[in-house]
Amino acid sequence: MRLKKYDNSIGKMNKLYDIKTLLLIAFLAVVTTVKAQDSSIKWAATMGGSFINFSETPGFDGEGVNFQIPNLSLLYYIDNGFTVGAGITFTGIPKINNFYTNQYDVTIMDFFGKYDFGLSEEKWVPQIITGVGLLVKDKYSRAISFNAGVGLTYWLFPRVGLNGQIVHRFVSEKYEQNFAGHTQVSGSLVVTFGESTGKRNKRRTGYGFTTN
């Protein structure tokens, strides 16, 4: 009986990792496809990591700081400082010796919007962020969150920058046995791609997204 239960657990873990692998492949495929098919639109992709302190969060008994690596997102610049995007965060690396060990597997899928106060081509770009998220704990426990936060991008080069974000997730009380409100801190490398007919290319100045 114990052996059967163990085999079932292994099967569930393998299935979960298969899903995450497929999501990662899909993300990379979308980035490659967009770059190949549309050379006139400004896009960006980010890759990094994040952490959440669950030490006082209901539903996460025994957990402290939970690290999520990787943290991936795809962004599309609309106009006038507005950007929309989608992202996924999951526990791809549940443990690093002498650094951390996650007690729970956390997967987060987000849809969000950002506003940068019209500073899209500056080296330092502050942002306000809002959106919704689907939270999944250990594959089966789920919750919906409404998110609000702030971010800051520093462009090292016209197409490559570093981004940091602090986002608070507001979760309904009906999900409290699995999730509760919490704050996620993340950092990532951000890269813009796709040729642009916008004014930045004409002037050969500026950073990040072109503004027209």
CA distance 91 to 121: 33
Provide the pLDDT for residue 43: 87
Residue 49: what pLDDT?
Answer: 96
Sites in the chain below the pLDDT cut of 50: 1-7, 9-10, 12-13, 29-41, 201-205
**Res 120: pLDDT:** 84
DSSP string, the chain: -HHHHHHHHHHHHHHHHHHHHHHHHHHHHHHHHHHHH-SSS-EEEEEEEEEEE-TT-TT-TT--EEEEEEEEEEEEEEETTEEEEEEEEE-S--EETTTEE-SS-EEEEEEEEEE-TT-TTSSEEEEEEEEEEEEEETTTEEEEEEEEEEEEEEEEETTEEEEEEEEEEEE-GGGTTT---EEEEEEEEEEEES---SHHHHHT---SS---
pLDDT of residue 197: 53
What pLDDT is attached to residue 33? 40
> If we measure between CA atoms, which residue out of 144, 67, 54, 136 comes closest to residue 100?
67
pLDDT at 10: 45
**Token pair belonging to 23:** 């999501």
State the pLDDT at residue 175: 87
According to the model, what pLDDT value does residue 82 have? 92
Cα gap 56→66, rounded to integer Å:
12
The pTM of this model reads 0.77
Looking at residue 101, its pLDDT comes to 94
pLDDT at 7: 47
CA atoms within 13 A on the CB side of 37: 6
Phi, psi of 86 (to 5 degrees): -135, 145
pLDDT for the residue numbered 89: 94
